[in-house]
């Protein structure tokens, strides 16, 4: 089976999952604890106003017709309107301004573990039982044990703006470009008509680094530990012993045989980071006051803004499905022995 045929097969198998999610969202909206009319008009609306709203929302139509309209709207990306938080605003418009900050946060929350956790894990695996190995292993365990909310508070206390600098005299504000606060939504206005505003880009990076470090903390520690174990297992494998017997240098063995094969068990760890980002962004965005999808999903759930919460749930499901497909494709790129016959 070719790569593209496998890709389309996985997409077709994902269709029932999407319909199950859409059905769950429909049941939640139509039969849930929140009355759509009362949510839009308020409890003091008159009977005539409520009747007009029910007709406008199509609630007088047969249930099967409402379901078909709902599914067709979702498939055409008509995700409805916010009931409570944004007062009749289209959900697609909410996603258009809340999505970029979450993507920016997620990008750095994945990038930091990749360039810190994996190199440290490989370093510890290549030097087992050394001081660096013990330091990296213990540090990874402690780092992973810290809850996101607790680590967020520690970072905010350390980097806060005070008269004499932050904790231990460290002044995060004086380091690099100017920022108004270590909390808030990044502007993401560094791409202009004349090119890239490097100063604005540096400010957005500086603003997002603390929450990205918190959000990627668990992934960083997991990549460190699994990377170390993968290196140790690969070094002791038969094909590495064969490469040594052929007279290959250590540099060639490490770069051509050890590193590539050690990446295989890290693929699900890296892709599963996105699953953690979806849940972790709810906490991190709320603490760091980032107006992203995670924080809005939390607010929509608490304030019973069901169309907004349901639309975000649908988007998160699509992202998870695509990540699972990408994970399988990465397996075949890193390890050609893995085929598509399944």
Please calculate the CA angle 263-265-266 and round it to the nearest 5 degrees: 60
Q: Measuring CA to CA, how many Å separate 26 from each of 63, 90, 102, 170, 339? A: 10, 17, 26, 51, 38
Q: What digits encode the pLDDT tens for the residues 135-194? A: 888 888 887 788 888 888 888 888 776 655 555 566 777 777 778 788 888 888 888 778
Domain map of the chain by residue range? 100-290
Average pLDDT of the residues of the chain: 81
The residues with which 192 forms a beta bridge, in sequence order, are 195
pLDDT on residue 101:
92
H helices of the chain, in order, are 3-31, 36-41, 47-57, 63-75, 91-126, 131-145, 148-159, 198-215, 217-235, 238-245, 250-252, 259-262, 267-287, 293-302, 306-334
The residue with greater pLDDT, 237 or 208, is 208
Banded model confidence at residue 47, pLDDT cuts 50, 70, 90: confident
Query: For residue 166, what pLDDT is reported?
Result: 56
CA-based nearest residue to 87, from 47, 23, 40, 44: 40
**Model confidence pTM above 0.75:** yes
Task: For the domain covering 100-290, report its CATH number.
Answer: 1.10.3720.10
SS3 195: strand
Q: What is the pLDDT of residues 103-131, one digit of tens each?
A: 899 889 888 888 888 888 888 888 888 88
Residues 227 and 224: their CA atoms lie apart, in Å, by 5
Distance between CA atoms of residues 280 and 286, nearest Å: 10
Cβ-contact 316, 91 below 8 angstroms: no
CB-neighbour burial class of residue 177 (10 A; exposed 0-12, middle 13-18, buried 19+) = middle
Asked whether residue 337 carries a pLDDT value surpassing 70, the answer given is no
Angstrom distance (rounded) from CA 309 to CA 270: 26
Strands 191-192 and 195-196: antiparallel
Q: Taking residues 283-295, what's their average pLDDT?
A: 89
pLDDT tens per residue, range 75-90? 888 888 887 788 778 8
């Amino acid at each position: 089976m070719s790569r593209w045929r496998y890709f389309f097969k996985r997409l077709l198998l994902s269709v029932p999952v999407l319909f199950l999610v859409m059905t769950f969202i429909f049941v939640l909206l139509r039969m849930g604890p929140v009355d759509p009319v009362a949510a839009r008009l308020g409890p003091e609306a008159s009977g005539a106003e409520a009747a007009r709203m029910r007709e406008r929302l199509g609630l007088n139509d047969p249930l099967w017709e409402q379901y078909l309209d709902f599914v067709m709207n979702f498939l055409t990306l008509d995700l409805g309107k916010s009931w409570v938080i944004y007062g009749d605003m289209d959900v697609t418009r909410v996603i258009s301004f809340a999505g970029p900050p979450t993507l920016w946060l997620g990008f750095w929350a994945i990038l930091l573990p990749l360039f810190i956790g994996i190199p440290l894990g490989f370093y510890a695996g290549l030097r087992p039982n050394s001081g660096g190995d013990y330091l990296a292993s213990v540090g990874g365990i402690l780092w992973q044990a810290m809850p996101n909310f607790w680590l967020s508070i520690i970072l905010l206390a350390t980097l806060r703006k005070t008269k004499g600098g932050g904790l231990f005299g460290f002044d995060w504000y004086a380091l690099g470009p100017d920022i108004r606060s270590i909390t808030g939504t990044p502007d993401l206005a560094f791409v202009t008509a004349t090119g890239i505003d490097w100063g604005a880009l540096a400010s957005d990076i500086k603003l997002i680094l603390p929450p990205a470090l918190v959000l990627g903390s668990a992934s960083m520690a997991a990549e460190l530990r699994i990377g170390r174990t993968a290196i140790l297992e690969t070094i002791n494998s038969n094909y590495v012993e064969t490469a040594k017997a052929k007279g290959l240098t250590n540099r060639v063995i490490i770069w051509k045989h050890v590193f590539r094969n050690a990446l295989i068990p890290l693929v699900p760890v890296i892709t599963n980071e996105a699953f953690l980002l979806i849940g972790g962004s709810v906490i991190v965005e709320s603490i760091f006051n980032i107006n992203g999808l995670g924080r809005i999903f939390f607010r929509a759930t608490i304030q019973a803004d069901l169309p907004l919460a349901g639309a975000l749930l649908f988007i998160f499901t699509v992202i998870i499905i695509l990540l699972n497909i990408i994970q399988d494709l990465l397996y075949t790129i890193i390890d050609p022995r893995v085929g598509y016959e399944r």
